[in-house]
């Protein structure tokens, strides 16, 4: 995950920037760079590999400017070369970026047609040219950024400095974190409070969609619509802790909000963003073409990730999938075809039942692929291949970001297997990869519904029972939604396949029963409408989580609708997980529950 640092002050900043970048090394990176203004002109030093390479180059060519930006790059678009390293610059502006600019191809074509010349393989370079283009129209640096930001799609954080503007540093945040640090005659930008800890403990976190103009004297904040905004200063103790809550009340809230960034990072590990193809970061010890079946086993939320993946492996790789919770699978004496593939999914990599299922499958001659977040865990060590989720440490007991990262990895595997088996042609693979690349941006969009979800949570908090319904991949997500609500609010909740409603749960429905329906406008939507009619006819309170067409086409009386952006249906379960998680979170907060450490639950279950 890329790291961003920016400083605007009165004395040379390059050394401080490198010091701060060192504190972001934990995020993982493969090249680094710094830009400052020397005698008012933009100057850059960049290096492949670790920070010591950058530091050595800076010793040879010290940078003197008192305003600067620095970056550790974790390659997504384009190889980790010096040329692709940030900052990227034109003769007007230099920029560093964390995240993905989804529409970079369109923008690059548009700007190339207007005479801009691109020198790198990165998505970031379009940002530098877009801002330059606005400046060439006569806009000030600040107005150019304001005009450029709404044209960028995706989840990102950005920091800019400008030729001839020694007192100006601009930052922007949309779906990837960015914080402002307050100093004496010096102001800072950083990916997190840790990066800023050597300079200050007084921090302002940008809200999603915010941008900020920094001078040595202070900061002016603007919201997504460009209006001035007030953002609070907070005191952090980041220097002492590697993991802190940022400006969130709970780890769970922080982890929900980190998802665009960590899902983007995870996708970048498995996809070639430039060519639009799956590129697995490991050799497989088997040929996907020879597989006849996949078995998936896991517990809890990880099991639901596996259940969603079953749909993807079947649809894209044309492979039958058998899936079971690990505590059942391990004792079933399940017959397995020799040379088959077992996929185990686990955040911690230590869950006792999942480990036992893995060992059983190994004895049965299966190849073992594990999708794990802790790469040093027992499950990882005992697997033939480890497909890492790059969610970072998950502290909240209720899994959120590990879940969506598991989905991201499993989706990449399903598409990769599909193309290896000839079940997907290159065009379809590229379409699916483009859909996956849009996931972080769509998740960031979903955050805009948070105030509405918070209000809805006040109603949900009064319920005794809640039903979640969905079809296709939204059926396992309904199960996950019910689990999340149960885990942290202790409200009884059940998830059902919408088509099963008539076979039992409909008996529960009355005026007191909220029914949460996860239904984008997809191929099975009309069937779900019939199920919603059945609920409405019995007075149930329907909460629709769906897109604008789903709302418009259904003619059902809704108690509330949570509008999701339009998206291709294939991987909709990934962004739809966000409102589902936020609803459980806010309900538990309204009820005053211990969100991060719910009663009776453990983060890592190492007993049967």
C-alpha–C-alpha distance, residues 57 and 61, integer Å: 6
Query: Is position 412 annotated as part of the catalytic site?
Result: no
Query: Is position 603 annotated as part of the catalytic site?
Result: yes
Q: Please, which residues have CB within 8 angstroms of residue 117's CB and are 6 or more apart in sequence?
A: none
User: Rounded to an integer, what is the distance from CA 306 to the centroid of its chain?
Assistant: 18
DSSP 8-state symbol, 497: E
* CB closer to ligand G6P out of 134 and 353: 353
Q: How near is the Cβ of 218 to ligand G6P at its closest, in Å? A: 42
* Contacting positions for ligand G6P (CB under 6 A): 299-302, 346-348, 351, 354, 397-399, 601, 603-605
3-class SS string, 150-197: HHCCEEEEEEEEECCCCCCEEEEEEECCCEEEECCCCEEEECCHHHHC
CA distances from 569 to 282, 441, 450, 562, 579 (A): 28, 15, 22, 17, 16
Q: Are strands 187-190 and 341-346 parallel, antiparallel or unpaired?
A: unpaired
CA distances from 132 to 186, 417, 483 (A): 26, 42, 49
* CB closer to ligand G6P out of 209 and 598: 598
Q: Of how many residues is the chain composed?
A: 608
* CB closer to ligand G6P out of 72 and 297: 297
* CB closer to ligand G6P out of 146 and 398: 398
Annotated catalytic residue, options 2, 299, 405, 412: 2
**Nearest residue to ligand G6P, using CB?**
300
C-alpha–C-alpha distance, residues 308 and 407, integer Å: 8
CA dihedral 310→312→318→320, nearest 10 degrees, is 0
H/E run at residue 83: none
Q: How near is the Cβ of 574 to ligand G6P at its closest, in Å? A: 17
Q: How near is the Cβ of 451 to ligand G6P at its closest, in Å? A: 27
Annotated catalytic residue, options 50, 245, 362, 603: 603
* CB closer to ligand G6P out of 409 and 444: 409
Angle subtended at Cα 332 by Cα 327 and Cα 338, rounded to the nearest 5 degrees? 110
* CB closer to ligand G6P out of 356 and 434: 356
Q: How near is the Cβ of 457 to ligand G6P at its closest, in Å? A: 20
- The answer to whether the CB of 102 falls within 8 A of the CB of 441 is yes
Helices (H), 286-425: 300-317, 326-329, 352-363, 378-381, 401-420
Q: How near is the Cβ of 404 to ligand G6P at its closest, in Å? A: 13
Bridge partners of 96, per DSSP, are 159
Q: How near is the Cβ of 389 to ligand G6P at its closest, in Å? A: 10
* CB closer to ligand G6P out of 494 and 522: 494
Q: How near is the Cβ of 394 to ligand G6P at its closest, in Å? A: 8
Q: What amino acid positions are annotated as catalytic residues?
A: 2, 603
């Amino acid at each position: 995950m890329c790291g961003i640092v920016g400083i605007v002050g009165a004395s040379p900043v390059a050394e401080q920037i490198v010091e701060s970048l060192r504190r972001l090394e934990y995020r993982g990176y493969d090249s680094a760079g710094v830009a400052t203004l020397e005698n008012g002109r933009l100057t850059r030093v960049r290096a492949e590999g670790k920070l010591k390479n950058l530091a050595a180059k800076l010793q040879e060519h010290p940078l003197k400017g008192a305003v600067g930006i620095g970056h550790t790059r974790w390659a997504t678009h384009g190889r980790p070369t010096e040329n692709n390293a940030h900052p990227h610059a034109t003769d007007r502006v230099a920029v560093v970026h964390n995240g993905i600019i989804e529409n970079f191809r369109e923008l690059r074509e548009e700007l190339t047609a207007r005479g801009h010349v691109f020198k790198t393989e990165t998505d970031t370079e379009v940002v530098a040219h877009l801002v330059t283009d606005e400046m060439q129209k006569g806009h000030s640096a600040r107005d150019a950024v304001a005009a450029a930001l709404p044209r960028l799609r995706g989840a990102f954080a950005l920091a800019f400095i400008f030729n001839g503007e020694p007192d100006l540093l601009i930052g922007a945040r949309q779906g990837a974190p960015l914080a402002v640090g307050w100093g004496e005659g010096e102001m800072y930008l950083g990916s997190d409070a840790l990066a800023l800890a050597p300079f200050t403990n007084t921090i302002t976190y940008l809200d999603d969609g915010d941008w900020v103009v920094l001078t040595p004297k202070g900061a002016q904040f603007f919201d997504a619509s460009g209006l001035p905004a007030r953002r609070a200063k907070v005191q952090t103790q980041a220097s002492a802790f590697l993991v802190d809550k940022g400006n969130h009340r709970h780890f769970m809230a922080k982890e929900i909000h980190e998802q665009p960034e960590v899902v983007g990072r995870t996708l970048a590990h498995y996809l070639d963003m430039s060519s639009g193809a799956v590129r697995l970061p490991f050799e497989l010890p088997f040929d996907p073409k020879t597989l006849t079946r996949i078995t998936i086993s896991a517990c809890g939320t990880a099991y639901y990730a596996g259940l969603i993946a079953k749909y993807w492996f079947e649809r894209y790789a044309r492979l039958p999938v058998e899936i079971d919770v690990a505590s059942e699978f391990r004792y079933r004496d399940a017959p397995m075809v020799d040379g088959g593939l077992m996929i185990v999914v686990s955040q911690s990599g230590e869950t006792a039942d999942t480990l036992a299922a893995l060992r059983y499958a190994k004895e049965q001659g299966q190849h073992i692929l594990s999708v794990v977040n802790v790469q040093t865990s027992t499950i990882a060590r005992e697997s033939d291949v480890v497909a890492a989720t790059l969610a970072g440490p998950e502290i909240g007991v209720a899994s959120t970001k590990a879940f969506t990262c598991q989905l991201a990895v499993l989706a990449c595997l399903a598409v990769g297997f599909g193309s290896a088996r000839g079940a997907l042609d290159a065009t379809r693979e590229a379409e699916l990869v483009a859909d996956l690349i849009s996931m972080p941006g769509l998740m960031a969009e979903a955050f805009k519904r948070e105030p509405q979800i918070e209000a809805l949570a006040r109603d949900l908090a009064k319920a005794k029972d809640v039903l979640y319904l969905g079809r296709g991949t939204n059926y396992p997500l309904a199960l996950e939604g019910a689990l999340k609500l149960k885990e942290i609010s202790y409200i009884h909740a059940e998830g059902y396949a919408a088509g099963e409603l008539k076979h039992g749960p409909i008996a529960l429905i009355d005026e007191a029963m909220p029914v949460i329906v996860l239904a984008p406008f997809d191929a099975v939507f009309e069937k779900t409408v019939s199920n919603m009619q059945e609920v409405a006819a019995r007075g149930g309170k329907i909460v629709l989580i769906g897109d604008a067409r789903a709302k418009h086409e259904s003619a059902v009386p809704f108690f509330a609708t949570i509008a999701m952006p339009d998206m291709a249906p294939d991987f909709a379960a990934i962004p739809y997980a966000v409102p589902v998680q936020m609803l459980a979170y806010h309900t538990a907060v309204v009820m005053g529950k211990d969100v991060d450490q719910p009663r009776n639950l453990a983060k890592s279950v190492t007993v049967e």
